[in-house]
């Protein structure tokens, strides 16, 4: 089964990367996406290490370097907005030998989406899967409009709440690991806040706020807070929940939520990992958050998603389309590093949001120490400097 039609459910980073790589190797990928268009909401990501490695192999570094926002430093600020720690972005870039940039997740998706069009395939938006039926030679897919199509392979790159995973492996509750946090992110147009050219972080017990400029009076805000597991939060309930959670919070936390239009979309999800013993079954395989979600708190979910797509494509080519052998090699290559990063994310999460027991002076001293010029590279080690594909060809 070398070449052939394959279906990829999910038009995000994982799905687009896999589609591009498989198309370049002679496959005919079809990508479906439940949303009506590529996403524009989301949050900023640091891009280095594994992600940089895959992007270099795909010749995308030049395009990613063109993405520039007016952010010169990372700053921790107090309740009055006064910085008590400032880390120049150039210090981070120098510590990583120039192999670093930052962008919105949606920027990376857009670059991949443009490459997909260049290599010759498109994304079917507003499309979801109703059922999957695997037989000896193919997978018959029934879509939400009851049309049916057959594919040699099916890939679930459809996120934490994967439909492909549910149909193939069963309910999400078997695999989810809630870390005790929720994340919300959104943009504000024509803001009047003076945040300068920094990514500013404000912390209080059990809640934090990240704010940065997107240029032209556009602002992006990320709220990360501890909360009991309340499952899926409908769009209409997200802003009221944030306003209740951040009632009385300092700096800009309350003001931004008061100014945000209730009709605008908010990215909102729990910090929930997906932990699975196997990532494939027959002709169906998972990648990205569908099988190995790290959460935002690990900082490398997009990196690992790209690595998983790369390994799948390489192993299918290496084994002449023998999907059984290829999928086994894929899991063997990346499962151990994924499990380690998931464990690290649990530990790192405490760094993102202080608890009521956090001793503020000691916490600030630790932050200043880890982000000092002398120890910045060691501080970045917490998030993993070595590519997950180091030595992999």
Instruction: Give DSSP secondary structure letters for 134-146.
Output: E-SS-EEEEETTS
Q: What is the mean pLDDT of residues 83-89?
A: 90
Task: Determine the distance from the C-alpha atom of residue 65 to the mean position of all C-alpha atoms in its chain, rounded to a whole number.
Answer: 19
pLDDT tens-digit readout, 25-70: 999 999 999 999 988 877 888 899 999 999 999 999 999 999 999 9
Residue 289: predicted pLDDT = 95
Compute, in degrees rounded to 10, the torsion defined by CA atoms 375, 378, 379, 383.
Answer: 160
Tell me the pLDDT tens digit for each residue of 148-162: 999 999 999 999 999
Tens-place pLDDT, residues 313-359 = 999 999 999 999 999 999 999 999 999 888 888 877 777 788 888 87
Architecture of domain 4-66+97-175+272-352+360-381: 3-Layer(bba) Sandwich (3.50)
Query: Is pLDDT of 382 > 70?
Result: no
Task: Look over the chain and give the mean of its residue pLDDT values, rounded to a whole number.
Answer: 91
298: which 2 tokens?
């690990």
What average pLDDT does range 184-190 have in this prediction? 90
At what angle are helices 301-318 and 49-57 packed, to 10 degrees?
A: 40
For residue 257, the model assigns a pLDDT of 96
Residue 178's pLDDT is: 94
- pLDDT at residue 2, as a whole number: 55
pLDDT at 41: 75
Helix 301-318 with 13-24: angle, nearest 10 deg:
20
Give the model's pLDDT for residue 229.
Answer: 94
CA pseudo-torsion sign 224, 225, 227, 233 = negative
SS3 94: helix
Query: What was the pLDDT predicted at 328?
Result: 98
The percentage of the chain sitting over the pLDDT mark of 90, rounded to a whole number, equals 72
- What is the model's pLDDT at position 249? 96
pTM: 0.93
Contact indicator for 334, 308 with CB cutoff of 8 Å: yes
Residues 19 and 29 sit within 8 Å (Cβ to Cβ): yes
More confident residue, 36 or 385: 36
Q: Which of 297, 299, 285 is nearest to 330 (CA)?
A: 285
Task: Express the helix, strand and coil content of the chain in percent, nearest 5 each.
Answer: 40, 25, 35
Domain boundaries, given as residue ranges, for the chain: 4-66+97-175+272-352+360-381
Residue whose structure tokens are 């990992």:
273
């Amino acid at each position: 089964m070398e070449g052939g039609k394959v279906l990829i459910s999910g038009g995000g980073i994982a799905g687009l990367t896999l589609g591009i790589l498989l198309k370049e190797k002679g496959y005919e990928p079809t990508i479906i996406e439940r949303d009506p268009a590529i996403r524009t909401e989301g949050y900023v990501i640091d891009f280095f290490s594994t992600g940089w490695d895959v992007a270099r192999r795909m010749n995308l570094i030049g395009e990613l370097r063109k993405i520039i926002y007016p952010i010169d430093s990372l700053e921790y600020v107090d309740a009055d907005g006064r910085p008590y720690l400032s880390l120049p972005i150039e210090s981070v870039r120098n510590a990583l030998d120039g192999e670093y940039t930052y962008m919105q997740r949606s920027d990376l998706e857009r670059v991949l989406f443009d490459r997909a069009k260049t290599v010759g395939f498109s994304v079917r938006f507003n499309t979801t899967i109703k059922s999957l039926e695997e037989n000896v030679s193919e997978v018959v897919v029934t879509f939400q409009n009851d049309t049916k199509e057959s594919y040699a392979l099916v890939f679930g790159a459809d996120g934490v709440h994967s439909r492909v995973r549910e149909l193939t492996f069963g309910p999400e509750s078997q695999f989810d690991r809630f870390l005790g946090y929720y994340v919300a992110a959104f943009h504000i147009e024509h803001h009047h806040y003076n945040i300068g050219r920094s990514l500013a972080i404000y912390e209080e017990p059990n809640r934090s706020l990240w704010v940065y400029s997107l240029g032209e009076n556009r602002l992006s805000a990320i709220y990360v807070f501890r909360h009991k597991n309340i499952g899926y939060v409908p769009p209409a309930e997200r802003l009221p929940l944030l306003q209740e959670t951040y009632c009385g919070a300092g700096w800009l936390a309350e003001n931004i939520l008061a100014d945000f239009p209730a009709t605008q979309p908010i990215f909102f999800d729990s910090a929930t990992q997906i932990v699975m013993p196997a990532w494939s079954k027959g002709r169906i395989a998972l990648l990205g958050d569908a099988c190995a979600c790290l959460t935002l708190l690990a900082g490398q979910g997009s990196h690992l998603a790209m690595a998983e797509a790369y390994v799948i494509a390489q192993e299918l080519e290496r084994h002449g389309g023998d999907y059984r052998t290829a999928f086994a090699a894929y899991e063997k290559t990346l499962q151990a590093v994924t499990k380690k990063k998931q464990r690290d994310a649990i530990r790192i999460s405490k760094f993102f949001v202080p608890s009521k027991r956090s001793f503020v002076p000691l916490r600030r001293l630790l932050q200043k120490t880890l982000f000092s010029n002398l120890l910045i590279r060691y501080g970045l080690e917490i998030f993993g400097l070595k590519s997950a594909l180091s030595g992999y060809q």
